[in-house]
Amino acid sequence: MTNVAAMLTALGDPTRQAILDRLADGPLAVGELAEVLPVSRPAVSQHLKVLKEAGLVTDRQHGTRRLYQADPGALAALRAHLDGFWARSMAAFEQRVHDEKGDQP
C-alpha cells in the first residue's frame, strides 16, 4: 500500500522534486544526479533515502553502482490521488456556480 501523504511530503522539497524529475528519464546513480544538482553527493543520498522511504524511488545494484529509478506504480497512485482531488474540486466549483445561479445541477 502506498502512502500518498508521505509522497506529497517528500515532494515538498525542490531538490527532491528535481531528483524525481531526473529519474523520470531513466535510472541514475548518485554521482550522476549530483553532477547536475547544486548539492553534494551525500546530500543527494539523503534525498534519495527520503524518496525511497516514501515509495517514490526504487534502487538496484548494478555492478559497483547502485541505480535509482522512479517507481511507476507509486507515481500512478500519486496521479490517481491528484486526479481524484481535481475531480472533487471541479465538482464543488460546478455546484457552487449552480447554487449562485439558482440552477439545479
Neighbours of 55 (CB within 10 A): 20
pLDDT of residue 87: 77
Torsion 95-97-100-101 (CA) sign:
negative
Residue showing cell 500500500: 1
Which domains are assigned to the chain?
A: 4-101 (1.10.10.10)
Answer whether 4's CB lies under 8 Å from 81's CB. yes
Q: What is the pLDDT tens value at each position of the chain, 105 positions in all? A: 458 999 999 999 999 999 999 999 999 999 999 999 999 999 999 999 999 999 999 999 999 999 999 999 999 999 999 998 777 778 788 888 888 887 655
Beta strands in the chain (DSSP E): 28-29, 57-62, 65-70
Residue showing cell 548518485: 30
pLDDT of residue 64: 93
Question: Backbone dihedral region of 83: left (phi > 0), alpha (psi from -120 to 50 degrees) or beta?
Answer: alpha
pLDDT of residue 8: 95
Answer whether 19's CB lies under 8 Å from 52's CB. no
Q: What single letter denotes the amino acid at residue 14?
A: P
pLDDT of residue 54: 96
pLDDT of residue 2: 54
